[in-house]
Structure 1
Amino acid sequence: MKLRSWQFECINLAISKYTSPTASSDFKKHFLALATPGAGKTIMAATLAQNLYELDLIDLVLCFSPSSIVSSDFSDELSAQFKTEFNGKVGSLGDALTYQRFGTLDNDTWKLFDRFRVFVIFDEIHHCAGSSNLDANAWGAPIIENIRDKAAFTISLTGTPWRSDALPIALSQYCDGQKIQCDYVYGLKEAIKDKVCRIPQIVAIDNDKIVITKTKEKNVYSSFSSLLAAKATSYSRIVTDDVVTKQVASRAILKLDEIRKVNKNAGGLVVASSIQHAQQIKTIMWSEFGKRGEIVTTNELKPSQKIKNFRRSSDEWLISVGMVSEGTNIPRLQVCCNLTNITTEMYFRQIFGRVLRKTGSPNQEAFMFMPAEPKLINYAERMCQDIPDDVSKIKTVKMDEPIETEIDEAIIDEIEITTSPASTIEIEDLPIFIPYEKESKQIGEEESNSTLDSTWSMGIVGKYRQDSLKVTDLEPFLISDTAKNKLADLSRLAV
């Protein structure tokens, strides 16, 4: 397989660092590559391993990643490069494991680092925290204790080089204690320019009149943003509601149907907030739109095989909680529906990364549909701004449409939501917009303090509004000479 330019550059730079007689001894053997989701980090890392083996610099290869499906992908790619098995059995040259396996590895495994020259690949290294045992998390501690000083070489891969808890990422260097130092950077703007990634398009769904009733006192909000700012409810309640789910999913379904008229194999991904929410989404998609969705969660039998089957099929929709949010390679995905209650920038980018990988199909659009949560909109704007100003601009388009479900405000006063000692929520089955979660889980402190009054209800009586954040002026993937020169001058490390 012919390497992309960035993959070739990154491999050469890594080998140059590993073999440099002048590089710092502390981090000479550790390499950090930041590459946008969908760029092809798996192929790059596997090819680097094979090159190091051919140069007689390593004996074995171990790969660690955050999920079984990603580990399987790495195992397949390493096997293709080395033309031998990578399953940890006798005769293989290594293995691909999940970070969860750290806790099960015995001393015999760690002794390999004393007997052989081991090259270690860390995928999505931001999951592993710690500069020492004092600040290491459960996945960072084994790296610091058993791998950092004993591995022949390591390469750490990430598309989101930060952590929500602000802990240092394992095997990483920082400037002034804050800014991470990457050995190689391949961003979204370079990937779009190289026709490696699709152009991101984000659609946020909002409503202009939301009525909250607590103990017969009504408050009206003009958007989800104002509703959340007043702490009148939680985002978990909004995102798991049947009507919100239907409003967001309907637009995603229409867009995928449109894309599949040109590209019949295009697929869509829905990321849910919980396993129960995934089942709820599946029911809504079938009952309201006649669309079948394949659920893949940790509760399913052989979920990794389900993902592989979906990758090879032409089925339309995959519904997941977290298994397909990061690192999973399903290039035919072009539409994602973000219905998770997690609102961190890292998770947002990881979800969107599933639809950015470009293929040879005629339609190469990439869409995310989501409720208009203010933090998510900020992340979307920042992602669009990764494209140079001279190449693109952000355009906002608003579309009003009537709500599908009316609410009788006289009924609101009669609705009572009670909480059991186990903090589960039970409500009557009424044909109005009332957010609820029937999950048997503890409700967060913020939610319990702000939303669980003795009488509580929410109704949306306004119109839905659709805000589209579009990167324009790039179709049909033709970039001006001025823009190309700017892109060529970007500060990419030279070999």
Structure 2
Amino acid sequence: MALDARRTFTRQETWRAWQLQGCVCNLCRRAIPFDLMQGDHIVPWSRGGRTSSENLQAICGSCNLRKGSTAQSVVSVRFSADRLSSSTAPLRSWQADAMPIVLSRLGQEPVLVEACPGAGKTRFGLEVAHELAAEGQISRVLVVVPSLAIADGWARASSAATPGAPTLPLRTQRDWRAVDPIGDEWLGAVITYQSLFSSTEMFLAHATDPGQRTMVIFDEVHHAGANAAWGVSAQEAFAAGAWGILSLTGTPFRTGRDPIVFVPSEDGNARPHYRYSYDHAIIDSACRPVQFVEARGETTFRTSDQQTHSVTFDDTGVTQARERGRLRAAIEWIGEGSIAERMLIDANQYLLSLRQRGDTDAAGLVVCIDCDHAARAAGHMASRVLGFRPVVACSRLHDENDPDPANAIRVFRASHDPWIVAVNMVSEGVDIPRLRAVVYLTNRLTLLSFRQIVGRVVRTDPANVDDHGRVYLPADPQLLSMARRITENVDLLPPPLVIVTDGERALRVGSGNGGDQARGTFEALNTVGEQGGVFDTGGRDAHADLVACARLFIEREGLTGTDPESLALAAVDAPELRRALLALQERPR
């Protein structure tokens, strides 16, 4: 069989066919803009059909996906709810409270649910999709997420491998392409915002596939700014074609400057239909409480005027420039005796103590500035802390969907490795329940980023219910302020303040709202780490001297069932223990 030498129709030919058809798709008869129409062979080209006007029809993307190279027809087959499996575990109290609110509004307006990191947003989204699919209100679900690693989490949560949650057959980008039909044996797909942007027309086709009623779930919806590329593609694909839209977020976000698509707002504030805050999650035991361990000491750095400065974290009245230089030196300089090393060693000792107490797969996360910084941290841990190289998840392509770090995270999640070093791959939405500690060596200083990073250690672990998360951080006033307010409800986030590194020596400090920025060379020369204090989300606060005494007490008594920070916090509520610990200051060692 000889095939026509010309494979495709021109846009002018397709335009003419579309006009002759009355500006509708020739198969489903829907009025669809020409930009979304495709020229199709009535008799498929692969079967000898000619590329001529007599064999041309203009059809929409969804009809073209379904038709493929088959006979001329539109088959409307919906997903069978018989393939669904209900959850076997009861809903958390907030999920049960939110469910009727969300179900009553979906299909009428876009719905926003805000629940703190670790509270179970993924499970909630799956429960909503299961309920609607089982009742026949929807026949397709598209879940849009920020990264491939988070897509893996949704696929894992919706599979039979996750006990308790409903089982929903969802495709992912690991084994499916947007240009392929979803297939009637699948309820839908989990995709990334980047994939939505690059294949907007295809996802419009999937959302408007004849006979389907599609619900779209946006995870971490703040990525979809209305005027940004991801937000524009979301509107083009789903504004008119989706039956219902559910948006999920773990952190309040500001919408005053750049509205978020499908998000209800008032005076620049996102207004969720249901909110579940971190303080309530702690009370309900849905999330772990968190301890914050301060690292103090002296920093030495050189600024653009070639002046060398030595600033400690106990100095007061320092200029804003020196304050920021102090923080940058603390997180950048990773050497023997440094502030960064102090945090890494203390955090590793804490993990070792947890593992000795029975939490055998307890793990930690080091959050770094960039891939070069992550490589230095991993190398230092190998030579001075662990004796072997930790897992590193970093994309030098600056791509959240880079498969190399995504695969590293997936392997780490199921392993017993104690440490993972990452830049921004392990943040929002990445579920690694065995994480117990975070070492904060990043220049991400926005309240949104801070809460997302802390959120990695608040998720409860059924194997270790009575525990807490821990964050090691430099004693920078801004970081400490955000840590002390971690349980507060926040409606409107302030403009972000970010220290941006550009190469090895450049420093740019300023607000993320496009204001003035100071530029100049910067060089971290040295830091010397010292013991800092510790405080927790319960309001307890132990100063550095008490922690140092607790450390000495544990060493003298040979204790293995606790750690200095936890013992110091316990002494805050136990006057006799506090006096016993502080008495060690006056005794010779």
On whether the aligned pair clears a TM of 0.5, the verdict is yes
Q: Deviations over 1:284-316 (max 9, x none)?
A: 112112254100122586322321221112210
Q: Which runs of 5+ in 1 are unaligned?
A: 20-27, 131-135, 388-436, 476-495
Q: Deviations over 1:32-83 (max 9, x none)?
A: 0100100111111011101111111111110011110111221233344345
Of 98-107 and 267-276, the range deviating more from structure 2: 98-107
Is the aligned partner of 1:452 residue 2:521?
A: yes
Is the aligned partner of 1:238 residue 2:350?
A: no
Corresponding residue for residue 372 of structure 2:
276
Superposed counterparts of 1:248-267, under 5 Å: 248-262=343-357, 263-267=359-363
CA distance in 2, matches of 1:281, 1:209: 18
Question: How high is the TM-score relative to the length of structure 1?
Answer: 0.75
Is the aligned partner of 1:321 residue 2:426?
A: no
Paired AA for residue 159 in structure 1: G
CA distance in 2, matches of 1:322, 1:446: 19
Q: Deviations over 1:168-210 (max 9, x none)?
A: 22211222x2232111111112211221100011112122575
Paired AA for residue 367 in structure 2: V
**Secondary structure at the counterpart of residue 110 of structure 1:** helix
Paired AA for residue 238 in structure 1: A
Corresponding residue for residue 467 of structure 1:
533
Is the aligned partner of 1:171 residue 2:262?
A: yes
Is the aligned partner of 1:120 residue 2:216?
A: yes
> Alignment partner for residue 132 of structure 2, among 33, 52, 57?
52
Q: Which runs of 5+ in 2 are unaligned?
A: 1-87, 161-165, 177-181, 397-401, 491-500, 511-516, 541-565, 567-589
Distance 1:35 1:184, change over 3 A: same
Q: Offset at 1:159?
A: 1.0
Q: Offset at 1:330?
A: 0.5
Of 156-165 and 256-265, the range deviating more from structure 2: 156-165
**Secondary structure at the counterpart of residue 126 of structure 1:** helix
Corresponding residue for residue 298 of structure 1:
395
CA distance in 2, matches of 1:264, 1:195: 22
CA distance in 1, matches of 2:102, 2:126: 13
Q: Offset at 1:214?
A: 7.9
CA distance in 2, matches of 1:286, 1:237: 21
Distance 1:46 1:335, change over 3 A: same
**Secondary structure at the counterpart of residue 171 of structure 2:** coil
**Secondary structure at the counterpart of residue 100 of structure 2:** helix
Q: Is the 8 A contact 2:300 2:524 kept in 1?
A: no
Is the aligned partner of 1:364 residue 2:467?
A: yes
Corresponding residue for residue 506 of structure 2:
443
Q: Offset at 1:333?
A: 0.4
Q: Is the 8 A contact 1:224 1:373 kept in 2?
A: no
CA distance in 2, matches of 1:225, 1:163: 33
Q: Is the 8 A contact 2:364 2:435 kept in 1?
A: yes
Q: Deviations over 1:351-410 (max 9, x none)?
A: 1111100112345121001112222111101114569xxxxxxxxxxxxxxxxxxxxxxx
Distance 1:166 1:83, change over 3 A: closer
CA distance in 2, matches of 1:105, 1:138: 12
CA distance in 1, matches of 2:462, 2:303: 52
* Number of positions where the alignment pairs a residue of Structure 1 with one of Structure 2: 408
Q: Offset at 1:245?
A: 2.1
Distance 1:339 1:328, change over 3 A: same
Corresponding residue for residue 78 of structure 1:
158
CA distance in 1, matches of 2:394, 2:224: 23
CA distance in 1, matches of 2:407, 2:216: 25
Corresponding residue for residue 562 of structure 2:
none
RMSD: 3.0
Distance 1:63 1:140, change over 3 A: same
CA distance in 2, matches of 1:340, 1:457: 15
CA distance in 2, matches of 1:119, 1:225: 55
Distance 1:215 1:172, change over 3 A: closer
Q: Is the 8 A contact 1:380 1:469 kept in 2?
A: no
**Secondary structure at the counterpart of residue 331 of structure 1:** coil
Q: Offset at 1:449?
A: 5.2
> Alignment partner for residue 481 of structure 2, among 374, 378, 403?
378
CA distance in 1, matches of 2:345, 2:479: 19
**Secondary structure at the counterpart of residue 217 of structure 2:** strand
Q: Is the 8 A contact 1:65 1:123 kept in 2?
A: yes
Distance 1:467 1:165, change over 3 A: farther
Q: Is the 8 A contact 2:368 2:374 kept in 1?
A: yes
Question: How high is the TM-score relative to the length of structure 2?
Answer: 0.63
Superposed counterparts of 1:27-426, under 5 Å: 28-80=108-160, 81-87=166-172, 89-90=182-183, 91-114=185-208, 115=210, 116-130=212-226, 136-163=227-254, 166-175=257-266, 177-207=267-297, 219-223=309-313, 229-231=320-322, 234=325, 235-242=327-334, 243-262=338-357, 263-292=359-388, 293-299=390-396, 302-362=404-464, 363-385=466-488
CA distance in 1, matches of 2:224, 2:312: 41
Q: Which protein is bigger by CA-based radius of gyration?
A: 2
Q: Is the 8 A contact 2:394 2:422 kept in 1?
A: yes
**Secondary structure at the counterpart of residue 225 of structure 2:** coil
Query: What percentage of residue pairs aligned between the two structures are identical?
Result: 27
